[in-house]
Amino acid sequence: MIDRFGLGGVALHRMEQGDRVAELFGVKYPLVQAGMIWCSGWELASAVSNAGGLGIIGAGSMYPEILRAHIRKCKAATHRPFAVNVPMLYPNIEEHMAVIQEEGVPIVFTSAGNPAAWTGRLKAAGITVVHVVSSVKFARKAEDAGVDAVVAEGFEAGGHNGREETTTLVLIPMVRDAVRIPVIAAGGIADGRAMLAAMVLGADGVQIGSRFVCSVESSAHAAFKQRVAEAGEGETLLTLKELAPVRLLRNKFFTDVQQAYASGAKTDDLKALLGRARAKRGMFEGDLEEGELEIGQVSGRINDILPAATIVENILREYREALEQSRSRIWQGQ
């Protein structure tokens, strides 16, 4: 952390919220593009980093040598910092972490696992480490493990989700009050208004996923992007809690899961129904019926597919407008 004011720990409290995250990552805006399996390869990550945010390569869907290729392409496409997200459930995590260190990736976001497992080793290699959490308990655990920041991800988020179902509105102030490290809000944020709201709740920055699935540079299949852009209110639901809670768009696969529940399916039946590579089938291969379509609740507010740089610009413009409007529109408490 840069001590801009020469005041040690006090400086942290004087520094503006967004500055803590932007300075931690060496980027212009406190805006992070989420690492998402099948959707965020090098093209999206480099486009977001070039636009002033922090782009993330989602390693969960990549074999180690594919990850290496994406990191190399990302380095060639941007001179700005970028990160790699590694879900800790990943089967070849040792190989992923070796690739990340060999390729000199400056920042790693870990998720879906114990932060104590890798934080020390990554920090010793000079890597900035952020862990994704969905509760205060895990935020504290991540801070104790020595991470540089946490992403606090609420119930609205797509893909894997917390078992407690805590919404972003409830989670952010609770995590803010529980830890001293920077807090990056996620879940339900796709525009500048929501970004401002998250900052008012105490976040130091935001992580945005679904909005970037509907970007030109996302590696999601064109049919999945179009489906997300067309999705309306109430079209995603959290399911498969016995395996790993996941938020999905309604489709034939989702209906099959619901019917399995209705007929009293056990965990093993659900596992068999899920099978293997359903997420790839839906999000990467564009099978909108049989595939698993992971996306956030906020997909109901996303209606177009735009270049990543335009998405970043729009969010920043909306943020500034919302901030300005809040001075005249919002009740002043008198």
Residues lying near ligand NDP in the complex (CB under 6 A): 37-39, 41-43, 58, 60-63, 66, 69-70, 73, 87, 89-92, 111-112, 159-160, 219, 276-280, 294
Give 276 or 327: the residue with its C-beta nearer to ligand NDP: 276
* Residue 163 beta carbon to ligand NDP: minimum distance, rounded to whole angstroms: 14
Q: Which H/E stretch holds residue 25? A: helix 17-25
- Nearest residue to 175 (alpha-carbon basis) of 200, 146, 153, 147: 153
Distance between CA atoms of residues 54 and 51, nearest Å: 9
* Residue 95 beta carbon to ligand NDP: minimum distance, rounded to whole angstroms: 8
Q: Which two tokens mark 55?
A: 């782009």
Residue at 28: amino acid letter: K
Distance between CA atoms of residues 240 and 88, nearest Å: 19
HSE, side-chain direction, 13 A CA sphere, residue 93: 17
Give 12 or 260: the residue with its C-beta nearer to ligand NDP: 260
* Residue 329 beta carbon to ligand NDP: minimum distance, rounded to whole angstroms: 35
Could you tell me how far CA 287 lies from the centroid of its own chain? 23
Could you tell me how far CA 217 lies from the centroid of its own chain? 16
* Residue 58 beta carbon to ligand NDP: minimum distance, rounded to whole angstroms: 5
* Residue 48 beta carbon to ligand NDP: minimum distance, rounded to whole angstroms: 14
* Residue 205 beta carbon to ligand NDP: minimum distance, rounded to whole angstroms: 19
Give 73 or 140: the residue with its C-beta nearer to ligand NDP: 73
Give 195 or 279: the residue with its C-beta nearer to ligand NDP: 279
Give 197 or 283: the residue with its C-beta nearer to ligand NDP: 283
* Residue 27 beta carbon to ligand NDP: minimum distance, rounded to whole angstroms: 21
* Residue 175 beta carbon to ligand NDP: minimum distance, rounded to whole angstroms: 18
Distance between CA atoms of residues 183 and 179, nearest Å: 8
CB of 152 closer than 8 Å to CB of 183: yes
| CB closest to ligand NDP, residue no | 41
Give 205 or 282: the residue with its C-beta nearer to ligand NDP: 282
* Residue 315 beta carbon to ligand NDP: minimum distance, rounded to whole angstroms: 21
Distance between CA atoms of residues 247 and 263, nearest Å: 21
- Nearest residue to 101 (alpha-carbon basis) of 138, 71, 60, 142: 71
Give 58 or 205: the residue with its C-beta nearer to ligand NDP: 58
Pairing mode of beta strands 236-239, 246-249: antiparallel
Cα distances (angstroms) measured from residue 282 to each of 8, 87, 223, 224, 243: 49, 19, 9, 7, 19
- Nearest residue to 239 (alpha-carbon basis) of 219, 262, 257, 220: 257
Cα distances (angstroms) measured from residue 176 to each of 72, 148, 200: 35, 14, 11
Give 191 or 294: the residue with its C-beta nearer to ligand NDP: 294
Give 288 or 322: the residue with its C-beta nearer to ligand NDP: 288
Cα distances (angstroms) measured from residue 296 to each of 117, 140, 195, 227: 28, 25, 15, 13
